[in-house]
A = this chain, B = another copy of it.
Amino acid sequence: MSINSHIDLSSQVAELLIVRASGHAFDIQRNYPLWELSNKQIQRLLKVGVGGVIFFGGTSIELQHRCQTIKKWTAKPLLLCADIEEGLGQRFPGGTWFVPPIALGRMYAIDPERAMKLAESYGCSTGSQARKCGLNWVLAPVCDVNTNPSNPVINVRAWGEDPVIVSELTCAFHKGLVSQGVLSCAKHFPGHGDSSVDSHLDLPTLTHDRNRLTKLELVPFKEVIVNGVSAVMTGHLLLRNLDPKNPASLSQLVINQLLRKQLGFDGLVVTDALVMHAISNKYGAGEAAVMAFEAGSDLILMPENPDEAIKEICKALRSGRIPMERLHEALERRQIALENVERFFPASSKKLPNVCNEELQTNDDKEIASELILKTLEVLNPGGIKAPINGINLLRIDSMISCPFITNNSPSICLPESAGFKSIVSHKMTPSIWTNDINSPLDLNLLGEKMILLQLFIRGNPFVANSYDQEPWEAAIRQLQYKKLLAGLVVFGSPYIWDSLIKVLDSSIPAAYSPGQMLPAQREALSKLIMLAPHSRLSQSDLPHAFTD
């Protein structure tokens, strides 16, 4: 073992922390200044010995610049990671943003062979683009089996609802991902798919016994462990029958007994973000980190207070509460992981080739992203919306702040507008579009008694939880159909919402569903629904009038 005993304890403990940074270069650009460390803080913590950084925000070019800068701030090799479950472009514009994994699960039912091939390409592209930007660890695949259709936080992020299919797709994705020389991470152990509470907000409790877990939740984890996954992320979930006291992320029974001994996993165990409210509401910043480490976690992700976490873990080691062996095994696992990835990705080559003109997304990446959109799009009554319609294009979104799919060029806005619709958005900060009448819930006085094209952007997003559960879309569709005012329906995101709404939809209504919310998915869906006048210049009118902000 190559752990140098002369390195002081706190520096060794610090190596196990993954702290959060913005992908933007400058402090003033941070989207979440309370959670994203300042550059001074990052530099100080790297000196203290912190061994990993997770990035949020910024574009792919900024991320590359950021990884280069941060590597210059320390001589140690770092774990540099991001939550890019749906391709680099999910969080870092410029990269490819794929339809969410659930789309592959649906595709698998029709064409399992192609679905498997695409899942592998999906992983391959994600790993390759992550590496080009300087990351060496991708926090994916999600191994949760989404058995609860109203799961507020997993939902479309899962590869499906069937443990065997999820297992197959997860392993295919994983194969592609690690072929590109990045570390992987199976999450959220022992399975977050049946929860009905968002652990970002509160602690979900599950009552499954070991038998049920073996048959369902654990299947994909077991398989991806056999396939050599680098790390397993534990969820902030209370599994009463496994450990009535501690959530999985802080549970010795879950980590040591179940994951290590029974499933035989000897890679890195990492906690889910320790700042999450399920944990931060209950335990202190220091104690949460100590408990996670004591329970068997090797890496501590986003501790609420890194200094406190280091201090308290050191104290627990010195006092004998946690045996020193725990530290050594965690450091050794980290080192092995880094050595594995550095065979592809030498730490010495601090300077990466500049990601330049079109070198980030390959043509293959683009084709796979397109194929996934096309093959997972569902359309009823294509061409059924005939322009011009002097109607309302009503878009339901969670929030317009930092919304990656509402831009000046969003086809969900531009295409209906070119067909004569006026766009109105509804989100948590707009005047309410609802009445108190459960039979006529949409406020048609407000919207005008016009034909309405309804576009719902709904997927399980962290923190947003089930806010849409309070929105009576089924009743709204019935109301509009009764009044003959429903021009069309489009759902972008959750298949469960789509499946529930088509049950009440008249068979004559033009409608479409895409699991993806990105601009190309909008373009495909809307252009299949709307039949523009023969001479309308779609390529032009698809685009906005103004040319600057």
- Chain A interface residues toward B at CB < 8 A: 24-29, 31-35, 39, 43, 56, 58-62, 65, 69, 83, 93-94, 200, 273, 275, 354-358, 360-361, 400-402, 404, 406-409, 413, 423-426, 429-433, 443, 446-447, 461-463, 540, 543-549
CB-CB nearest in chain B for A360: B26
Pick the 6 closest A-B CB pairs, nearest first. Answer: A463-B546, A400-B400, A34-B543, A35-B547, A26-B94, A430-B430
With A26-B60, A61-B65, A65-B61 as known contacts, state yes or no: A33 contacts B409, CB within 8 Å: yes
CB-CB nearest in chain B for A273: B547
In the bound complex, what is the Cα–Cα distance between A200 and B546 (angstroms)? 8
A58, A355, A406, A549 pick with most chain B CB within 10 angstroms:
A549
CB-CB nearest in chain B for A275: B547
Which of B56, B69, B358, B409 sits near A31, CB closer than 8 Å? Answer: B409
Contact: A432 with B446, CB < 8 Å?
Answer: yes
In the bound complex, what is the Cα–Cα distance between A77 and B357 (angstroms)? 20
CB-CB nearest in chain B for A463: B546
Contact: A356 with B402, CB < 8 Å?
Answer: no
Contact: A424 with B429, CB < 8 Å?
Answer: yes
A404, A429, A443, A547 pick with most chain B CB within 10 angstroms:
A547
Closest Cβ of chain B: how far from A427's Cβ, in Å?
9
With A62-B62, A401-B407, A433-B431 as known contacts, state yes or no: A357 contacts B39, CB within 8 Å: yes
Closest Cβ of chain B: how far from A513's Cβ, in Å?
23
In the bound complex, what is the Cα–Cα distance between A452 and B287 (angstroms)? 43
Contact: A32 with B463, CB < 8 Å?
Answer: no
Closest Cβ of chain B: how far from A519's Cβ, in Å?
8
Residues of B within 8 A of A29 (CB): 59, 93-94
Residues of B within 8 A of A58 (CB): 59
In the bound complex, what is the Cα–Cα distance between A358 and B39 (angstroms)? 8
State how many copies of this chain the complex holds: 2
With A401-B406, A463-B546, A546-B463 as known contacts, state yes or no: A361 contacts B28, CB within 8 Å: yes
Contact: A463 with B548, CB < 8 Å?
Answer: yes
Contact: B430 with A431, CB < 8 Å?
Answer: yes
Contact: B69 with A543, CB < 8 Å?
Answer: no
30 contacts between A and B (CB under 8 A): A24-B59, A25-B61, A26-B61, A26-B357, A26-B360, A26-B361, A29-B93, A31-B407, A31-B408, A31-B409, A34-B547, A58-B59, A59-B59, A61-B65, A83-B548, A200-B546, A275-B547, A400-B400, A401-B408, A402-B408, A404-B549, A413-B429, A423-B429, A431-B431, A431-B443, A431-B446, A432-B446, A446-B446, A463-B545, A463-B546
Closest Cβ of chain B: how far from A461's Cβ, in Å?
8
Contact: A547 with B32, CB < 8 Å?
Answer: yes
With A430-B430, A446-B432, A543-B33 as known contacts, state yes or no: A61 contacts B60, CB within 8 Å: no
**Sample of 15 further A-B pairs with CB below 8 A, known A28-B94, A59-B62:** A26-B93, A26-B357, A28-B93, A28-B361, A31-B407, A32-B408, A32-B544, A34-B543, A62-B62, A401-B406, A401-B407, A404-B549, A426-B431, A432-B446, A463-B547
Residues of B within 8 A of A24 (CB): 59, 61, 93-94
Residues of B within 8 A of A39 (CB): 357-358
Residues of B within 8 A of A463 (CB): 545-548
Closest Cβ of chain B: how far from A200's Cβ, in Å?
7
Residues of B within 8 A of A432 (CB): 446
In the bound complex, what is the Cα–Cα distance between A108 and B31 (angstroms)? 35
Residues of B within 8 A of A31 (CB): 407-409, 549
In the bound complex, what is the Cα–Cα distance between A462 and B548 (angstroms)? 7
Which of B62, B402, B423 sits near A549, CB closer than 8 Å? Answer: B402
With A425-B429, A462-B548, A547-B275 as known contacts, state yes or no: A402 contacts B407, CB within 8 Å: yes
Residues of B within 8 A of A425 (CB): 429-430
Residues of B within 8 A of A433 (CB): 431
In the bound complex, what is the Cα–Cα distance between A273 and B432 (angstroms)? 40
In the bound complex, what is the Cα–Cα distance between A361 and B28 (angstroms)? 10
Contact: A69 with B356, CB < 8 Å?
Answer: yes
In the bound complex, what is the Cα–Cα distance between A60 and B446 (angstroms)? 42
In the bound complex, what is the Cα–Cα distance between A392 and B424 (angstroms)? 21
Contact: A356 with B25, CB < 8 Å?
Answer: yes
Which of B59, B357, B462, B540 sits near A69, CB closer than 8 Å? Answer: B357
In the bound complex, what is the Cα–Cα distance between A425 and B404 (angstroms)? 19
A25, A65, A429, A432 pick with most chain B CB within 10 angstroms:
A25
In the bound complex, what is the Cα–Cα distance between A428 and B423 (angstroms)? 9
With A408-B402, A446-B431, A548-B56 as known contacts, state yes or no: A25 contacts B357, CB within 8 Å: yes
In the bound complex, what is the Cα–Cα distance between A438 and B407 (angstroms)? 34
A93, A413, A546 pick with most chain B CB within 10 angstroms:
A546
CB-CB nearest in chain B for A57: B549
Closest Cβ of chain B: how far from A35's Cβ, in Å?
4
